[in-house]
Each structure stands twice: as C-alpha cells, then as structure tokens.
Amino acid sequence: MGELWLAGRLGVVTGARRGIEAAMGADARAVAETTSALWHETRGVNLTGIFLCFRAAFAAMAASGEGRIVNIASLSGVYATERFPGLAAYNVSKYGVIGLTEAIAVEG
C-alpha cells in the first residue's frame, strides 16, 4: 500500500515494492519455471506501482507548477543480473522502472 504525504510544498510518496529479499526467497526460479502469476505480480508491484505513483504525482506537480520525482530501482536493473540468477521477473521489472523514469523525465 502506498502513501502520499504533503506538507505545504513538500511532498513525499512512498510505495510498496517487491524487494529482492522477497524475490530471492521462495520465488527465485529459472525463467522456464516462472509462473505467469509471479511474473505479473512482480511487474505489477515494481513497475505498475511506480507508474501509478508517477501519474498521481504529476497531477499534484501540475497543480503547483513544479516538482521533482526520485525513484530508487535496483542495481539489478542496470547491470550485474548474473549475480541474481532465478530473478528474471524482478530484474526485468527494475529495468522497466529505470526506463519509465527516463521516459517520464522527458515528458515532465
């Protein structure tokens, strides 16, 4: 569950995420063994969740005429995916967060 906190002109958005700690647990598995449910859940939390927060933040930023968005993804979204075998769904979702952040920076 996410949270939006505003105090005057300062706003902070925090969101739930499917962390690597959880992904490395029982959900770590080869791509051939990754279920559609795990794929969709991981992408839904890590990527769709960010998208929904972006969309809400953009509305607030447009109303105030300014704002900044900072995302924290994961190193596995940039490089070193070989260090995280069995986490394709997680790694792809973090690549997606980085790509979405770059795309929205151009729009914003």
Q: Are 36 and 93 in contact (CB under 8 A)?
A: no
Question: Which residues are catalytic, by number?
Answer: 90
Residue 65, CA distances (Å) to 14, 39, 50, 62, 95 in order: 21, 37, 21, 5, 29
Q: Are 11 and 5 in contact (CB under 8 A)?
A: yes
User: Six-digit token pair at 95?
Assistant: 């690549």
